Amino acid sequence: MSHPTEQQLAQMAGKLRAHSIRMTTAAGSGHPSTCCSMAEIMAVLFFDQMQFDPATPSARDVDQFVLSKGHAAPILWATLFEAGAITDDLMTLRHFESTIEGHPTPRNPWVRIATGSLGQGLSVACGMATAQRFEGINQQIFVVMGDGENAEGAIWEAAQFAGHHRLNHLCAIVDLNRLGQSGPSYFQHDAEGLAKRWASFGWQTLVVDGHDVGALRRAFQEARRNEAQPTVLIAKTFKGHGVPLFEDKPGWHGKPIPADKVDEAVKTLGDIDIALKPAGACARDCSAATTAPKMAELLAHLAPLTYTKGQSVATREAYGNALVRLIREHPRLAVLDADTKNSTFSEKVMTVNPACFVECFIAEQNMVGVGMGLAAMGWTPCVSTFACFFARAYDFVRMAVISRVPHLLLCGSHAGVSIGEDGASQMGLEDLAMMRGLVESTVVYPCDAVSTERLVEALMTTPGVSYVRTSRPKTPVLYDLSESFPIGGSKVLRTSAKDRCTIIGAGVTVHEALAAAEMLARDGIAVRVIDAYSVKPLDAVTILASARETGAVVTVEDHSLYGGLGGAVCEVLAGSVPVTRLGIREVPRSGRPEELMAHYGIDAASICRTVRECL
């Protein structure tokens, strides 16, 4: 393995700056000044330190790179181009048909996770480092962050996680270029002050001149040698370095250099006539250490369910039972929780395979980010906490969708007023709306133990981001063990030719709907009951047919009236049949579950009153 000289690396840094300048000017937008501050970092990493194969973007037993400061995408594309990893025309930056987008996305095969929502890259890198540890891969994960994003709380959630779990194969680089978008960053050039904060989280901290290729080389070598803790390089740099027009000057963030000044700017970079190959290019087989399992084969070998009809089991406990059955057969299943494992019942897997359980503590943003990193490395993460706390992590979930993660299952427990006495702060009332609102997602809400386990199984073969909503109260088992629950389906639990209204529920309200149907039947009123366990995609065919046959629809949900099941049904029916929605209309209070469901109008008696009013 031959390494370039320091002069060659400095020349390559200049060439990467030139590409970044020309690309952004051609695009008419972008962030050339922030690219210029990290040019030496990229040159040393990709052409001297990183061990990777430019021909194999999907390689696993190699070093990995995450650009957390995603607005510096032009220099990533320029670096990959010079390394021979991509052949894209750099002047197509930000073009509709191009894979080299304004911020990194997996439309380009060298990007495992989309970045650009600042503060997320370190969490993702933690997940990738965790995957390396699971698989015994002794390679580095490098993540470059901006100094401005060190103001994000998620950075410190991830820093604490990495320090606690001693992720020694993780190397973070803070591009301390002093200037943010609208003014100076928190620390400006106080590298030592920032280093003290990182050190307090259990990291090895190395303060380095980010424009000194020799110093960077030595720092990266020291990071690789450290087998006890993660390492962070605090690289003191200057925004726009090498170009007097905008070096260390405010007001240039996100602004390309005018076309008539590009040649002059590039000329100031000196001799940049250089071509280098990555010193750490791998000629060996870089395939994944573990072949991804075929889910259909795994599911065929799962232990059978053991519930009996009428047995009272909370769906949150059934979720834990499902994980236990899956983790016995699934070699790449990881279970993550945020210090709620004894409430979500994810702790059950610790009795079977504790090595694949990841405690993320009370840091939900980082937990979802770690899950994203694991998913990007071919694992199937199952991430659980109370439904309401996913609100904190919603931007991470949004970015997981943009990242087209292969598989990320989220489980929100303790949903709705049915949790009872804990009160409004613990009642997830917005989660269905949040998860439905994602451009691409799957949302399910089981009502009993059998449907919970079968739906978790189904989500194992459902790509992308999926969400399962579980409940705190125990509910009776309704379904036979042989029942199947395809995504996009529903169950018609009660039907007759005389039905005058369709009641649609999900989760705990299915049981209230069935009780209401019994009460109405005693008065000679026949109603249809549907368990809409698949909230997204919704079973539009069954719901449309039932609505037309019965002439009226009542939806009932333990969720905000806005954005949940009722809204989904209205979208399907589009005014063709009258729909009356029951849900939570105000901020709730503490109380007994049955008391709260009655007060907020989603219990059996309330459903009966509503049906009579509709008729």
Residues noted as catalytic: 364
Phi, psi of 580 (to 5 degrees): -110, 125
In 3-state terms the chain splits into helix, strand, coil percentages (rounded to 5) of 40, 15, 40
Tell me which residue of 335, 411, 487, 440 sits closest to 114, measured CA to CA: 440
Alpha carbon 567 to its chain centroid, in Å, reads: 25
Tell me which residue of 157, 127, 165 sits closest to 143, measured CA to CA: 127
What whole-number distance in Å separates Cα of residue 429 and Cα of residue 446? 16
Phi, psi of 326 (to 5 degrees): -70, -45
**Residue 604 near residue 516, CB atoms below 8 Å:** yes
Q: Quote the DSSP letter at residue 281.
A: E
DSSP labels, 413-445: ESBSGGG-TT-GGG-B-SHHHHHHHSSS-EEE-
Structure tokens at 162: 């990495």
Tell me which residue of 245, 242, 247, 220 sits closest to 233, measured CA to CA: 220
**Residue 309 near residue 448, CB atoms below 8 Å:** no
- Strands, E, within 54-114: which ranges? 64-67
**Residue 379 near residue 334, CB atoms below 8 Å:** yes
Q: Can you list the pairs that 588-592 forms with residues at least 24 positions away whose Cβ atoms lie under 8 Å? A: 588/417, 588/423, 588/424, 588/427, 588/429, 589/423, 589/424, 590/420, 590/421, 590/422, 590/423, 590/424, 591/420, 591/421, 592/420, 592/421
Structure tokens at 406: 């292969």
**Residue 415 near residue 316, CB atoms below 8 Å:** no
